[in-house]
Amino acid sequence: MPANRSRTAGWRQCLTQIMSRGGSIELAVARPMPIATTGTDVAVEEGLAGDLLVRCRVLEVGERGIRVEAPMTLGCTIEIPAGVELVAMMAVGQNRWMFRTNCMQWMPGARDGQPQLHLSIPERVERCQRRRDYRVETATLDLPAVQVWPLLDPRSVVLAERLIAADFMRELDAVGGEGASRTEWRVGGEDELLPEVGPGFPASLVNLGGGGVGLTVDETAAGCLGRQSLYWLKFGLPPMVKTPVCATARLVHSHMQSDRRTYAGMTFDFSANPAHKRIVVNQIVRAIACQQKMQMARQAG
């Protein structure tokens, strides 16, 4: 008989391998199923972008479900209520697989004190092709674009971060009020204030960990990494959060991937302005909470 060469047939073994090594999968709140395709591109619902992949350590792979640690960002637990549909991604080496799952149970009082999620067993697992990146037939992820600048003077971020905090507070005050949708936020406009930085380069935000982010940088801009230890990051999460997320990050490690893009693991650094940590946490948590509310409203409708 011919050998079974399907790369998705052993997905349960891959998950078990990840669990035995203390590894993680990545979760994002699912958006509606794609309704149209053009070639290899999947149509994306207008106005929705900026999927956040959050890392969750795999604790158990059973016949009835998958148990993982609840996602965290900067020490703050991100709650995923029961019933929320998720897109999961797992990676072994250079290979990536995606599948849809549901949060069957939110377990805040786990035995080890860390909240946990009980996820449903996927009905279908698909391998991500390089040419399609984070897109498969049953799910698609649009990762936030990030602008990165080498930070020349860490103390110069304080004023920029205070202005960002003020804009975010104004955004929260305007939510639900008259004319909120017509408000134009100064940060990100032509008069945007930047710290003392060098020439910028683009990247993509591929995952969000407990204390930092993972970025991918194209081959043409990868040479800009490693020249500085600190960087100024900026990425948007529209339409959930209008004020862009801006923060200092320290490069921890980097390596070249099989597609010749460079993966850079960075940890947030709030040493110059510790109060800004709360703003970044609130922006990220709010964006994920808004995605959940939009999904639940669609299901109810």
Q: pLDDT by residue (tens digit) across 152-186? A: 999 999 999 999 999 999 999 987 544 343 334 44
Residue boundaries of the structural domains of the chain: 11-127, 145-300
SS (H, E, C) the chain: CCCCCCCCCCHHHHHHHHHHCCCEEEEEECCCCCCCEECCEECCCCCCCCCCCEEEEEEEECCCCEEEECCEECCEECCCCCCCEEEEEEEECCEEEEEEEEEEEEECCCCCCCCEEEECCCCCEEECCCCCCCECCCCECCCCEEEEEEECCHHHHHHHHHHHHHHHHHHHHHCCCCCHHHCCCCCCCCCCCCCCECCCEEEEEEEECCCEEEEEECCCCHHHCCCCCEEEEEEEECCCEEEEEEEEEEEEEEEECCCCCEEEEEEECCCCCCCHHHHHHHHHHHHHHHHHHHHHHHHHC
**pLDDT tens, residue by residue, 96-139:** 899 999 999 999 876 677 899 999 999 889 988 765 678 888 78
Please say if the pLDDT value at position 5 is more than 50. Answer: no
Q: How confident is the model at residue 9 (pLDDT cuts 50, 70, 90)?
A: low
Please say if the pLDDT value at position 234 is more than 90. Answer: yes
> What average pLDDT does the segment 219-227 reach?
87
Please say if the pLDDT value at position 43 is more than 90. Answer: no
Homologous superfamily, domain 11-127: Electron Transport, Fmn-binding Protein; Chain A (2.30.110.10)
